[in-house]
Amino acid sequence: MQLYAKCMCCMINQQERQIRKFDDEERKAAFIKEIMTLTGSCGPEYSAPWILALMTEIREKYFGKDEEMPRKKREFNQFLLDLEDELAQMIQESGDALKEAMRFARIGNYIDFSALEHVSKEEFLKLFHNEKDSIDETEYAYLLKDLEQASELVYIMDNCGEIVLDKLLIRELKKSYPNLHITAMVRGREAVNDATMEDAEMTGITGEVPVITNNSSITGVVLSELPEETREVLDKADLILAKGQGNFESLHGCGKNIYYLFLCKCELFSGRFQVEQFQGMLVSEKRVRI
């Protein structure tokens, strides 16, 4: 997907926020200059998630790894695991368990330390009771039709915590389509608060379906950067369900049969789809126009 000016500025601002705690202004200035040079030199094939991964490598060169992030990820994984039984019951008590599980999984996309300056557990919980939040009926009907015909589904996950809700959706998919083979994909290395294999193991995803990785710290899926075995799994899939803005940014335009499920968390996405912040989206690669 095209890299917009607003997106480039946002990524640089995100990096600046992360280094405010450091006192060495000369080092901070050198870092900002280097990531600005990187942003200006990247070709059209570079999506925002790919550039963000490169920025993170540069930041770690100057300031080291974020030692707090693993703790935050475990905290949000456990937060959702503690809510899992209650949320599973709410799903079962709804009129359409599959649709409600999909809505809940989409709400989980709120847990994004990269797109949001502050992730509030209180605001997150309020989203479950938003009466205006619903799954687009037209796209949902298309998705159900594709699910009926598919034999291989790849479910591309996004953030920590969120993947507990992905697990609930996967369980409903398995109930409704017992002959559908589902493979989950996570990030191959630490990528902000995105889910990795460690998170998949902690939250029980690995006990539900096979799990593969993108083999990188990119907060999305760059097809040209995937290992051959992972690319083969995607190429073989009849259907792909991709969570989060980063997966949309890195995959949109690839032509595969993908349904994207995410919240519009930033000004760019809200404007792009002409909706309010935190509006949930279910859009198809085949039919979306932006």
Q: State pLDDT tens for residues 42-79.
A: 888 899 999 999 999 999 999 999 889 999 999 999 99
183 and 99 in a single domain? The answer is yes
56 and 109 in a single domain? The answer is no
77 and 172 in a single domain? The answer is yes
Residue 148 lies in a domain: yes
197 and 262 in a single domain? The answer is yes
From 13, 262, 236, select the one nearest 136 (Cα to Cα): 262
Beta-sheet strands, E only, within the chain: 152-156, 181-186, 211-213, 239-243, 258-263, 280-284
Assign residue 38 a region: left if phi > 0, alpha if psi is -120 to 50, beta otherwise?
alpha
Q: Over 70: is that where the pLDDT of 244 sits?
A: yes
Judging by DSSP bridges, how do beta strands 280-284 and 211-213 pair with one another?
Answer: unpaired
Radius of gyration for the chain, computed over Cα atoms and rounded to the nearest angstrom? 18
Residue found by looking up tokens 């930041």 in the block: 59
> Helix axis angle, 162-176 relative to 69-93, nearest 10°?
40
Asked whether 177 and 147 are in contact (CB, 8 A), the reply is yes
- CATH number for the domain spanning 155: value is 3.40.50.10880
Q: What is the mean pLDDT of the chain?
A: 94
Residue 27 lies in a domain: yes
pLDDT of residue 117: 81
35 and 167 in a single domain? The answer is no
pLDDT of residue 153: 98
Asked whether 173 and 180 are in contact (CB, 8 A), the reply is yes
154 and 278 in a single domain? The answer is yes
Residue 146 lies in a domain: yes
List beta partners, residue 47. Answer: none
pLDDT of residue 266: 87
Residue 290 lies in a domain: no
> Helix axis angle, 97-107 relative to 69-93, nearest 10°?
160
Helices and strands, counts by H and E, the chain: 12, 6
47 and 146 in a single domain? The answer is no
Query: How far apart (Å, rounded) are the C-alpha atoms in residues 280 and 290?
Result: 16
At 1, the pLDDT band (50, 70, 90 cuts) reads: low
Q: Over 70: is that where the pLDDT of 235 sits?
A: yes
User: In which domain, by residue range, is 254 found?
Assistant: 69-284
pLDDT of residue 114: 84
List beta partners, residue 280. Answer: 263
Q: Among residues 16, 35, 63, which one ends one of the domains?
A: 63
92 and 55 in a single domain? The answer is no
The tokens for 18 are 């992360």
Count of domains forming the chain: 2
The tokens for 185 are 């994909």
Q: Over 80: is that where the pLDDT of 3 sits?
A: no
Q: Among residues 39, 63, 87, which one ends one of the domains?
A: 63
Query: How far apart (Å, rounded) are the C-alpha atoms in residues 158 and 50?
Result: 14
Report residue 220 CA to chain centroid gap.
7
At 130, the pLDDT band (50, 70, 90 cuts) reads: confident
From 275, 289, 267, 226, select the one nearest 6 (Cα to Cα): 267
Answer yes or no: pTM beyond 0.85.
Answer: yes
* Sign of torsion over alpha carbons 50, 55, 58, 59: negative
pLDDT of residue 44: 84
- Give the contacts of 114 (CB within 8 A, at least 6 positions apart): 14, 52, 192, 193, 219, 246
Q: What percent of the chain clears pLDDT 90, i.e. is strictly above it?
A: 86
pLDDT digits (tens, 9 = 90+) for 171-221: 999 999 999 999 999 999 999 999 999 999 999 999 999 999 999 999 999
Q: Over 70: is that where the pLDDT of 2 sits?
A: no
20 and 127 in a single domain? The answer is no
From 39, 14, 76, 48, select the one nearest 219 (Cα to Cα): 48
130 and 19 in a single domain? The answer is no
The tokens for 46 are 């570079």
At 131, the pLDDT band (50, 70, 90 cuts) reads: confident
33 and 74 in a single domain? The answer is no
45 and 122 in a single domain? The answer is no
Query: How far apart (Å, rounded) are the C-alpha atoms in residues 195 and 77?
Result: 10
Q: Over 90: is that where the pLDDT of 5 sits?
A: no
